[in-house]
Amino acid sequence: MQWINYKKSVSLIFLTLFIGIAVSFWQVNRMLYVSMLPENASPTIITIDRSTTAYQLAYSLQNKQLIPSARALLWVIRYKDLAHRLKAGVYQIAPGDTPMSLLEKIVNGAVIVQYFAIIEGSTQKKVDEDLRKANYLFYQPEAWSIVQGKYSNAEGLLLADTYQYQGGSGSEKLLLQAHNSLIAYLNNCWNSRDDNLPYKTPYELLIAASIIEKEASIPAERKLISGVMINRLRKKMPLQMDPTVIYGLGNDYQKKLTHNDLLIPSPYNSYLNRGLPPTPIAMVGKESIDAAAHPQLSNYLYYVAKGDGSHQFSETYEQQKQAINQFRRKDH
């Protein structure tokens, strides 16, 4: 009789233990597949560093009230041997995402994708400022020296375009992508350039393209402005283009170019110096490189802004003076 009671007690203990394990498993399983956020909640961003451990991840999620139990998530991570497969990066948790789907994202490195725009005509200084402020991008100032290479600075050495980057990645990868895109497109245009251009190297073509980028507000005028530059360079006339002077003034530029500004010595002052400035003056897009490589031929040597973004082109200095007087009167 005692043996029977003992067997019943043991059976009851095992049954209770089994039920407890089953309930615990059910609770863990239920937690893994329940949305971490309410349906109408805004997405949440989490960042996993290279040094983040599974323990830190689990308790971080619990502290943010995204999961009810860090221990339960840790049990799953260890059971599935995921601790060493967690990838660093920035991840988004949206309504409908469960702890299990988040783990899959982290294991697969499905970080959020961000976009970074390099605007045509922007300077290296502006791009650098934007990099420092970019969302979820690790800023690496030393990357500029890689882009710069043998040149005196990295101005113009990035192709103006919009680039994707993974949240949590470094700026070096983004800069090299923009630089390699520039070099590839520049070399392609250099190899297919028109005959008898006055540029000796692809870099000189890039310098010309950067001036065109700053001078042309209307895309249709890019090649015409390029042709004017060609004509002036061939005649060994100073280019006399304001954006080069403005670039040389740097922080001293006060948003309106004066006659005195044109007299300030600078390697970039194309009123005082003949030929091209020593470096590009801005980042350029494909269209300006195309325009530099394939100018529109004409007899124009001058142009003046009309005030609406377009220009009046002239063949002679007398025509230029008349155009200046005409459009200055309009401005006043």
Residue 280 is encoded by which pair of tokens?
A: 């590009």
Please tell me the predicted confidence (pLDDT) of residue 251: 77
Alpha-carbon dihedral angle through residues 282, 284, 287, 288, given to the nearest 10 degrees: 30
Distance CA 278, CA 204 (A): 9
Say yes or no to pLDDT of 327 above 90: no
Domains in the chain: ranges and CATH: 30-108 (3.30.1490.480), 113-236+276-298 (no CATH), 299-332 (3.30.160)
Q: What is the mean pLDDT of residues 71-81?
A: 90
Say yes or no to pLDDT of 5 above 80: no
- The pLDDT mean for the chain works out to 90
Say yes or no to pLDDT of 272 above 80: yes
Least confident of 24-33, 53-62, 133-142: 24-33
Say yes or no to pLDDT of 23 above 50: no
Check if the beta carbon of residue 36 is closer than 8 Å to that of residue 93.
Answer: yes
Please tell me the predicted confidence (pLDDT) of residue 21: 46
Say yes or no to pLDDT of 308 above 60: yes
Whole-model pTM? Answer: 0.83
**In this predicted model, what pLDDT tens digit does every residue of 35-50 receive, in sequence order?**
999 989 999 999 999 8
Please tell me the predicted confidence (pLDDT) of residue 20: 45
Least confident of 4-18, 123-137, 182-196: 4-18
Higher-scoring residue by pLDDT: 83, 251: 83
Check if the beta carbon of residue 267 is closer than 8 Å to that of residue 141.
Answer: no
Please tell me the predicted confidence (pLDDT) of residue 208: 99
* Structure confidence at residue 324 as a pLDDT band (50, 70, 90): confident
* Structure confidence at residue 33 as a pLDDT band (50, 70, 90): confident
Please tell me the predicted confidence (pLDDT) of residue 30: 66
Q: What is the mean pLDDT of residues 153-164?
A: 98
Please tell me the predicted confidence (pLDDT) of residue 332: 47
User: How many CB atoms are closer than 10 A to CB 32?
Assistant: 17
Distance between start and end Cα atoms, the chain: 116
**In this predicted model, what pLDDT tens digit does every residue of 196-215 receive, in sequence order?**
999 999 999 999 999 999 99
* Structure confidence at residue 4 as a pLDDT band (50, 70, 90): low
Alpha-carbon dihedral angle through residues 284, 288, 292, 296, given to the nearest 10 degrees: -170
* Backbone φ/ψ region at 255: left (φ over 0), alpha (ψ -120 to 50), beta: left
Say yes or no to pLDDT of 8 above 60: no
Please tell me the predicted confidence (pLDDT) of residue 14: 53
114 half-sphere exposure, CB direction, 13 A CA radius: 23
